[in-house]
Structure 1
């Protein structure tokens, strides 16, 4: 990778347009994503978020405009683009008949990784799936499947990861696990472009936020920059009540801690 490539945006989109027959979804999308950055793409259902991800991952050709990934044009150099990226869709793309480890080894071999078995073991440890490695994925919870799905997407060390609504359908605890993994990816230098409908998710994860509306990116900036678009805040004193999500996580965490203390005491009596 040249010095010019390192300083250029990891993802560069200029004037992308796409229609499905008479239905225009994207009209003039322009967006740059810096390297090692998490960018959240917000938009309502049907705004075109998934369409844009499909174009950037070479699964769909744009009607107009250009897009480059790691300096490679998505239309003229699709093989180079695919070698640089990984895509995790809205639903976990795992084989339920295989074990977690077998899923990872299979993808490793398909991507011609030198030692697929060692790679699988390392990812199982990284994503806290060692204890479930030999179980069929059909027995996994939704959060475990999503963790395995993201682990599979990292085989081959892609520099750019697309996450299309990665926490859809997950419970609060599983969402927190995915959030931690996304932050870890970016901390390791991976560029992440994620689509989401959850505003709290964008606020918790993103370095920059882009809003897709009417076929265009109408806002692109940091959370602080977006807040400055509104009138200055007024100071009000209110009693803050915990959210239901905070209550859930506190109760579940407390129950888990109590169970661990009971097991420890039981083990002490047996010894």
Structure 2
């Protein structure tokens, strides 16, 4: 498998449950140790919402999640962000799947990463919520970050590249659209290298400082659940 993701591109990993979507996602984001091959990243990578790996802490409010993340990256806890409709007073256990995805992207963007990875973008949401999530993903990509995501199925016109898993043939990425933003000369950012821990992860990731939702600090191993 050979995959390249430039700033502004959206790369989708598509397949049924158990096809290895989350494992590939975490490997490309540098959160899963590879036994062969390599992944290179120029710049920081961050995780959005990845169930069992990077998810909200149940007892913390949305505002507390943000405050913790801002402090983690050395920014003022009073910094203003776009909540995209989230209620800052809601606690982690109250968030719907859609709200968890939104919080994951809000937190991931705090550190201005070059790559953001998010899982299960088509599960647990109604049609309106899925459309709103895609609008937010497009906004993130238009801001210059490469986006990696997983889904069972999707509208391929929304993404730059699709990696299909679960078939009889080895997965091959297929470019289906022009990038939202073209990289500069020589740029090929947005794919994380094994072992790199740059930037800020999605909700619950630690990067050396305790935060909501991580499970013993080994994010990648959780991804194998799919």
Regarding TM over 0.5, the answer is yes
Q: What SS does the corresponding residue of 2:12 show, helix, strand or coil?
A: strand
Q: 1:57 to 1:207 in 2, by over 3 A?
A: closer
Which of 136, 157, 170 is the aligned partner of 2:91?
136
- Pair 1:105 & 2:67 matched: yes
Which of 207, 213, 217 is the aligned partner of 2:171?
217
Contact 1:209 1:223 in 2 (8 A): no
CA-CA distance at 1:106 after TM superposition = 1.0
Q: 1:32 to 1:135 in 2, by over 3 A?
A: closer
- 1:165 aligns to what? 120
Query: For residues 147 and 204 of structure 1, what CA distance do their matches in structure 2 show?
Result: 22
Query: For residues 158 and 21 of structure 2, what CA distance do their matches in structure 1 show?
Result: 17
Counterparts of 1:255-270 in structure 2 under 5 Å? none
Query: For residues 205 and 97 of structure 1, what CA distance do their matches in structure 2 show?
Result: 35
CA deviations on 1:59-87 (whole Å, 9 max, x unpaired) are 322111121112xxxxxxxxxxxx70111
Query: Greater relative contact order: 1 or 2 (C-alpha under 8 angstroms, separation 6 or more)?
Result: 2
List runs of 5+ in structure 1 lacking aligned partners: 1-28, 71-82, 225-271
Contact 1:162 1:193 in 2 (8 A): yes
- Pair 1:44 & 2:16 matched: yes
CA deviations on 1:114-146 (whole Å, 9 max, x unpaired) are 21321xx3132xx122xx212333333332232
| Larger helix share, 1 or 2 | 1
Counterparts of 1:144-159 in structure 2 under 5 Å? 144-159=99-114
Query: For residues 141 and 62 of structure 1, what CA distance do their matches in structure 2 show?
Result: 33
Q: What's the TM-score, normalizing by structure 1?
A: 0.58
Q: What SS does the corresponding residue of 1:41 show, helix, strand or coil?
A: strand
List runs of 5+ in structure 2 lacking aligned partners: 179-226
CA deviations on 1:30-64 (whole Å, 9 max, x unpaired) are 21122211111222333322212222233322111
Counterparts of 1:189-228 in structure 2 under 5 Å? 189-200=144-155, 203-212=156-165, 213-214=167-168, 216-222=170-176
- 1:85 aligns to what? 45
Runs of 4+ in 1 over 4 A off after TM superposition: none
| Larger strand share, 1 or 2 | 1
Counterparts of 1:16-31 in structure 2 under 5 Å? 29-31=1-3
Q: 1:172 to 1:215 in 2, by over 3 A?
A: same
Q: 1:57 to 1:39 in 2, by over 3 A?
A: closer
CA-CA distance at 1:215 after TM superposition = 7.4
